[in-house]
């Protein structure tokens, strides 16, 4: 992080909370997922008060913000982050303060973080630790709960968590011997999710196959970051995606597949959706913005910073996934932000098995998505809003509090100047990691203002955030994806069990009598 950025964060963390005045945004193009219109916007008390034609709104006391020539859009929602997390024996450099400050500087105003399990598998205790860590928050947030084992206590804990406003549980199909769950667990857990109205999330890679590949590669002397790449080819992602889709179909539960990185996995999801199954595909800024070429760099620091799971793929996969996101085969784009320092990455110097997996993105996502979707001509600003904000709000039951600009919604709003150019760099980013996978990427289109809870928290060059201002967002179960599922049960059941799920009557007494003769 640059010195200037450090200073801004430092000052901001001690700044007294200023009374927010009402804001009057004038003459911008308000973009929602369904349309864009030239409009003015009034914000007060943390909420959008009114949206109206230019010049139609009266608010003499409000602070006027000239939005002409800019897009006014809902703040981004990142559905997949790891802040203040312990993973592969390392603590992520970003906590809820630095990670969220970085997010706000990049136009993301809300995120869902992964609650990783505590040692010993105490789920509720693990969740309590994250709630404590999130007290440093500067923007709104919620959580997904990672489940790694199964027993009556886990089932009970899931119920308690749903009552507390958590409606999504994550399952790893990879990381054998650590986080990986069995098919049996998936079968149990998906049925439990269905009962609770919760959404199961899967990290879809075949951990058993990867484990064997890793051993084979290490034995063959391939120990660098390219070994990580080679041990997780696209087919292990595709196979696990298919398996998760199948288990979800069996339980008739909606499914959310995190970090879709490859064409095959995307096609599995698209096919299931075409057949009427409720599967949501999340891809990442790294998947649509980068290919794997630099992982083959002879410079260790360069190569190591791209190590993540599933891996960043070839250019062919990048283009396919990007087009799928624009066209609707995939539903939204997140980050899996789990940025490490170059020193932490260097722990994998002798073996890629010891290298912390993960990359940055919480600050870069909106810009990378804009560059890749809008400047490429693949999508409209409305589709951009859909995949960076609205779809996330709908899936995770935050809509219309989040994900839309309309009267009554939370005033999480960004101003994007489509003509401003900038270059992404670790020297100017706000995340605590000293490396950036998008280093040197030139972007046309810049978030020049971020408004969170009705306050200007990013003015295009500095942050004005307040520690503790972020709020936990409870999310009720049985959201949009559950509507009509019971009716689907009947149709699906008729297709899946054409002879009916009823026992066949047989005269066993007669059979016994015959055998006794």
User: Which residues lie near Zn ion (CB under 5 A)?
Assistant: 336
Beta carbon nearer to Zn ion, 175 or 370: 175
Beta carbon nearer to Zn ion, 336 or 417: 336
In angstroms, the CA 59 to CA 314 distance is 52
- Distant-in-sequence, close-in-space partners of 421: CB < 8 Å, separation ≥ 6: 442, 443, 444, 446
Which tokens is 445 given?
A: 């289109």
Beta carbon nearer to Zn ion, 194 or 203: 203
Beta carbon nearer to Zn ion, 174 or 189: 174
Beta carbon nearer to Zn ion, 24 or 259: 259
Helix (H, G, I), strand (E, B) or coil at 363: coil
Would you put residue 205 in left (φ > 0), alpha (ψ -120 to 50) or beta?
beta
**At its nearest, how many Å lie between Zn ion and the CB of residue 356?**
12
In angstroms, the CA 41 to CA 53 distance is 9
Cα 184 versus chain centre, distance: 26
**At its nearest, how many Å lie between Zn ion and the CB of residue 331?**
17
Q: Which residue has the tokens 């935050």?
A: 398
Report the C-alpha dihedral over residues 173, 334, 313, 342, rounded to 10 degrees. -90
User: Number of helices and strands (H, E) in the chain?
Assistant: 18, 18
Write a three-state SS string for 179-199.
CECCHHHHHHHHHHHHHHCCE
Q: Which residue is nearest to Zn ion (CB)?
A: 336
**At its nearest, how many Å lie between Zn ion and the CB of residue 207?**
14
Beta carbon nearer to Zn ion, 239 or 336: 336
**At its nearest, how many Å lie between Zn ion and the CB of residue 25?**
34
**At its nearest, how many Å lie between Zn ion and the CB of residue 171?**
12
Beta carbon nearer to Zn ion, 336 or 412: 336
Beta carbon nearer to Zn ion, 91 or 375: 91
Whether the ω angle into residue 400 lies within 30 degrees of 0, i.e. cis, is: yes
Backbone φ and ψ of 511, nearest 5°: -65, -45
Helix (H, G, I), strand (E, B) or coil at 102: helix
Pairing of strands 255-257, 108-115: unpaired
DSSP 306: T
What stretches of 323-371 adopt beta strand conformation (E)? Answer: 332-334
Beta carbon nearer to Zn ion, 81 or 452: 81
First to last CA, the chain: 88
- Between CA 294 and CA 299, with CA 295 as vertex, the angle to 5 degrees is 80
**At its nearest, how many Å lie between Zn ion and the CB of residue 397?**
21
**At its nearest, how many Å lie between Zn ion and the CB of residue 240?**
15
**At its nearest, how many Å lie between Zn ion and the CB of residue 174?**
11
**At its nearest, how many Å lie between Zn ion and the CB of residue 94?**
13
In angstroms, the CA 73 to CA 139 distance is 17
Q: Is-contact 30 409, C-beta < 8 A? A: no
**At its nearest, how many Å lie between Zn ion and the CB of residue 115?**
12
Beta carbon nearer to Zn ion, 32 or 335: 335
**At its nearest, how many Å lie between Zn ion and the CB of residue 170?**
8
**106: closest CA among 359, 283, 340, 362?**
362
Beta carbon nearer to Zn ion, 238 or 336: 336
């Amino acid at each position: 992080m640059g010195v200037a950025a450090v200073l801004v964060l430092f000052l901001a963390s001690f700044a007294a909370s200023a009374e927010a005045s009402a804001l009057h945004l004038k003459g911008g193009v308000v973009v929602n997922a369904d349309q864009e219109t030239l409009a003015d916007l009034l914000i007060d008390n943390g909420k959008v008060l009114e949206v109206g034609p230019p010049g139609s709104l009266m608010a003499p006391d409000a602070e006027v913000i000239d939005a002409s020539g800019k897009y006014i859009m809902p703040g981004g929602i990142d559905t997949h982050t790891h802040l203040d997390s312990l993973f592969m024996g390392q603590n992520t450099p970003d906590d809820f303060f630095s990670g969220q400050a970085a997010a706000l500087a990049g136009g993301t105003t809300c995120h869902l973080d992964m609650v990783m399990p505590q040692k010993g598998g105490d789920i509720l205790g693990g969740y309590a630790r994250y709630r404590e860590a999130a007290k440093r928050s500067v923007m709104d947030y919620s959580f997904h709960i990672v489940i790694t084992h199964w027993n009556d206590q886990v089932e009970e804990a899931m119920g308690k968590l749903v009552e507390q406003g958590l409606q999504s549980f994550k399952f790893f199909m990879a990381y054998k011997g650590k986080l990986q769950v069995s098919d049996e667990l998936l079968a149990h857990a998906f049925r439990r999710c269905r009962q609770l109205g919760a959404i199961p999330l899967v990290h879809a890679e075949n951990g058993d196959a990867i484990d064997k590949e890793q051993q084979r590669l290490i034995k063959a002397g391939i120990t660098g970051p390219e070994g990580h790449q080679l041990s997780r080819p696209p087919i292990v992602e595709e196979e696990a995606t298919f398996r998760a889709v199948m288990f979800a179909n069996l339980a008739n539960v909606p499914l959310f597949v995190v970090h879709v990185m490859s064409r095959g996995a995307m096609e599995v999801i698209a096919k299931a959706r075409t057949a009427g199954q409720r599967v949501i595909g999340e891809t990442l800024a790294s998947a649509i913005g980068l290919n794997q070429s630099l992982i083959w760099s002879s410079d260790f620091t360069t190569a190591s910073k791209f190590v993540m799971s599933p891996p960043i793929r070839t250019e062919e996969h990048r283009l396919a996934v990007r087009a799928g996101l624009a066209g609707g085969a995939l539903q939204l784009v997140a980050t899996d932000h789990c940025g490490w320092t170059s020193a932490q990455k260097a722990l994998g110097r002798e073996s890629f098995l010891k290298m912390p997996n993960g990359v940055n993105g919480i600050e870069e996502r909106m810009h990378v998505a804009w560059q890749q979707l809008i400047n490429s001509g693949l999508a409209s600003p409305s589709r951009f809003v859909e995949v960076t904000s609205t779809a996330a709000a709908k899936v995770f039951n935050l809509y219309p509090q989040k994900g839309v600009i309309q009267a009554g919604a939370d005033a999480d709003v960004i101003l994007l100047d489509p003509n401003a150019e900038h270059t992404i760099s670790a020297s100017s980013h706000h995340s605590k990691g000293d490396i950036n996978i998008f280093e040197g990427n030139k972007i046309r289109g810049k978030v020049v203002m971020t408004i969170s809870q009705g306050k200007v928290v990013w003015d295009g060059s500095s942050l004005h955030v307040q520690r503790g201002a972020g709020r936990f967002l409870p999310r009720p179960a049985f959201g949009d994806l559950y509507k009509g599922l019971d009716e689907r049960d009947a149709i699906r059941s008729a297709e899946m069990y054409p002879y009916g799920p009823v026992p066949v009557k047989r005269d066993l007494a007669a059979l016994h009598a015959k055998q006794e003769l």
